[in-house]
């Protein structure tokens, strides 16, 4: 019997025009609203949705970064510099350092316009995003005396550019000591 939509718990498989228990092709995902197996983005070998940012795995010559498949596998410590977007594919080259004003994110090996985390600074020699000292919320270096802002549990000391833990109530902090 033919159906416009497959009865629960089956899904419509476009490649076979059959109601199936699961999608047969690996590069498809189940759209729960339409109950149809839909193709992933062309760069994804498996996915959770149609966007290029919803990949679970990638085809050969692509590298999974978060949930995004980027073309060209760069060998660490190189970074991927996007030079063009062609049909939603990132085309680029692997480079040793990201050119100014871009910065390299070591965890994703991609050149970006700025650091993606609040508690990072740009290392001026390597043009990489590096973590601030654990006592700093924002900083301009990795030492405890490179803080520019503290989280709420600390007090910022402008004279030493450092963060000092707040005193327990009812005590008060004296910066002159």
Say which residue the tokens 């699961």 belong to.
22
Long-range contacts of 142-151 (CB under 8 A, 24+ apart): 146/121
3-state secondary structure of 120: strand
Give the DSSP letter of residue 48. S
Residues 110, 140: one domain?
A: no
- Domain assignment present for residue 14? The answer is no
Domain count along the chain:
2
Average pLDDT, the chain: 82
pLDDT of amino acid 136:
93
- 93 found inside a domain: yes
**pTM to 2 decimal places:** 0.49
In a domain? residue 161: yes
Residue 81 included in any domain: yes
Residue at 99 is within a domain: yes
pLDDT at 90: 62
Minimum mean pLDDT among 2-6, 94-98, 149-153: which range?
Answer: 2-6
* Residue 65 maps to a domain: no
pLDDT at 173 over 70: no
Q: For 36-47, how does the pLDDT look when each residue is reduced to its tens digit (9 = 90+)?
A: 889 888 878 899
Q: Which domain holds residue 87?
A: 73-116
pLDDT of the residue at 47: 92
| Whether residue 136 sits in one domain with residue 111 | no
Please tell me whether residues 112 and 136 are part of one structural domain.
no
């Amino acid at each position: 019997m033919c159906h416009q939509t497959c009865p629960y718990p089956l899904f419509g498989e476009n490649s076979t025009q059959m109601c199936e228990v699961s999608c047969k092709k690996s590069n498809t995902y189940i759209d729960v609203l339409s109950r149809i197996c839909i193709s992933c983005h062309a760069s994804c070998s498996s996915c959770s949705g149609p966007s290029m940012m919803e990949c679970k795995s990638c085809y050969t010559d692509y590298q999974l970064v978060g949930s995004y498949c980027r073309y060209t596998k760069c060998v660490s410590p190189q970074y991927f510099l996007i030079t063009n977007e062609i049909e939603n594919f990132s085309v680029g080259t692997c480079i040793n350092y990201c050119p100014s004003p871009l910065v390299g994110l070591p965890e994703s090996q991609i050149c970006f316009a700025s650091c993606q985390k609040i508690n990072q600074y740009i290392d001026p020699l390597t043009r990489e995003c590096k973590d601030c000292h654990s006592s700093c919320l924002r900083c301009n270096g990795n030492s405890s005396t490179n803080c520019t802002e503290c989280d709420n549990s600390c007090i910022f000391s402008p004279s030493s550019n450092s963060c000092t833990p707040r005193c327990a109530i009812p005590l008060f902090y004296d910066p002159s000591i």
